[in-house]
C-alpha cells in the first residue's frame, strides 16, 4: 500500500455569510495516484483542493498532509509537499523571463544556486521550453504559458501536483502534450490531482475519480464506474465523453456488452463483439 499523503477527516468549509462550500468530506490520497475531481461549478471541488496546500483552512474537521495538520502551517511550508497550478497562468506568473519564473520557487526554498540551476534545466527539458527560456512569459502563447505555470511548480519538487483545469484554453496539440506530461509526472512518483471539466482527460488519463455535488463528495471510484452510471452523471449535470455515450446506446441495443472510455477501447470492444458473432 502506497504512502498516504493527504487525509481529509470530516472536512467542512463555510464561507462568510454561512455558505457551506464543502461538507463533511472524508478522503485519503496516496503517493502515485492519478485523480480527477469533477462536479458542476459551485459543487465544492476547487474549495476542496485549496485545503490541500493551505490556501484555505478547515472550518470544521481536519486536513493532514504527510502526517501533519494544515491548521498551523503556512502555505509556503505546505508548498514543499503540494503544488497548485492555477487555471489561469496570468494569476501565477510574474517574472520577466521563463527562466526567472522557474528559478523563483526553488530559490525561495533556500536551495543552493547549483541546485536551483539543476532543477530549472530539468524543468525546461521536461516541459520542452528551451526555445522560450529567455522570453517574457506574457509574450508566448497562452497554451505555452500554462506549461510554464506547470514547470514553475515542477521545480519545487512537490509530492502532489494540483492542476486546476489543465487543458482549458489549450489547442488540440497542447492538450495531448498535457496528457503525456501528467502521465510522466505520475511515472516519476508524483500524485497528480486534476480538477477538470475535460471529460476526455478524465476518461483516458486519470485512474480515480472524485465526484462533488452540492458541497458533498458523492462518489470516489474509477472513471469507468462513474461514466457508466447515468443516474450519477445526470445528478451532477455533467456528460460523459461522446464515445462513452455512444457505447451506452450500443449497449442498450445489445450491440456490445460493456462501456468504452476511449476510441481505442471502443475499437477493442467492437472487435471482440464481432469475433463472438462470427464464431457462432
DSSP annotation of 185? H
* Rounded to 5°, angle at Cα 113 from 109 and 115: 70
The model scores a pTM over 0.85: yes
pLDDT tens for each residue of the chain, 280 residues long: 689 999 999 999 999 989 999 999 999 999 999 999 999 999 999 999 999 999 999 999 999 999 999 998 999 899 999 999 999 999 999 999 999 999 999 999 999 999 999 999 999 999 999 999 999 999 999 999 999 999 999 999 999 999 999 999 998 899 999 999 999 999 999 999 999 999 999 999 999 999 999 999 999 999 999 999 999 999 999 999 999 999 989 989 988 888 899 999 999 988 888 887 777 6
- State the pLDDT at residue 123: 98
Laid out side by side, the sheet with 19-30 consists of 19-30, 4-15, 60-65, 68-69
- Which residue, chain included where needed, has cell 497548485? 84
- State the pLDDT at residue 2: 83
- State the pLDDT at residue 1: 66
Among residues 162, 137, 157, 159, which one has the least CA distance to residue 148? 137
Output the nine-digit C-alpha cell for 203.
476518461
- State the pLDDT at residue 39: 95
Amino acid at each position: 500500500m502506497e504512502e498516504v499523503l493527504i487525509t481529509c477527516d470530516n472536512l467542512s468549509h463555510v464561507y462568510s455569510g454561512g455558505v457551506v462550500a464543502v461538507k463533511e468530506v472524508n478522503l485519503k490520497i496516496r503517493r502515485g495516484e492519478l485523480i480527477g475531481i469533477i462536479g458542476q461549478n459551485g459543487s465544492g471541488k476547487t474549495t476542496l483542493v485549496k485545503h490541500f496546500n493551505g490556501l484555505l483552512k478547515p472550518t470544521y474537521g481536519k486536513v493532514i498532509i504527510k502526517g501533519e495538520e494544515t491548521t498551523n502551517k503556512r502555505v509556503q511550508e505546505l508548498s514543499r509537499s503540494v503544488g497548485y497550478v492555477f487555471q489561469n497562468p496570468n494569476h501565477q506568473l510574474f517574472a520577466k523571463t521563463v527562466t526567472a519564473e522557474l528559478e523563483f520557487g526553488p530559490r525561495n526554498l533556500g536551495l543552493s544556486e547549483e541546485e536551483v540551476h539543476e532543477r530549472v534545466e530539468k524543468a525546461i527539458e521536461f516541459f520542452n521550453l528551451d526555445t522560450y527560456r529567455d522570453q517574457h512569459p506574457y509574450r508566448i502563447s497562452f497554451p505555452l504559458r500554462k506549461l510554464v505555470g506547470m514547470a514553475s511548480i515542477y521545480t519545487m519538487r512537490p509530492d502532489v501536483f494540483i492542476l486546476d483545469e489543465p487543458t482549458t484554453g489549450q489547442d488540440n496539440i497542447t492538450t495531448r502534450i498535457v496528457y503525456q506530461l501528467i502521465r510522466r509526472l505520475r511515472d516519476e512518483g508524483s500524485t497528480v490531482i486534476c480538477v477538470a471539466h475535460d471529460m476526455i482527460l478524465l476518461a483516458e488519463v486519470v485512474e480515480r475519480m472524485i465526484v462533488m455535488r452540492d458541497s458533498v463528495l458523492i462518489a470516489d471510484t474509477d472513471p469507468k464506474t462513474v461514466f457508466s452510471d447515468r443516474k450519477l452523471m445526470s445528478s451532477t449535470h455533467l456528460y460523459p465523453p461522446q464515445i462513452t455515450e455512444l457505447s451506452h446506446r450500443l449497449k442498450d441495443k445489445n450491440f456490445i456488452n460493456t462501456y468504452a472510455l476511449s476510441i481505442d477501447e471502443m475499437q477493442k470492444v467492437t472487435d471482440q463483439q464481432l469475433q463472438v458473432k462470427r464464431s457462432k
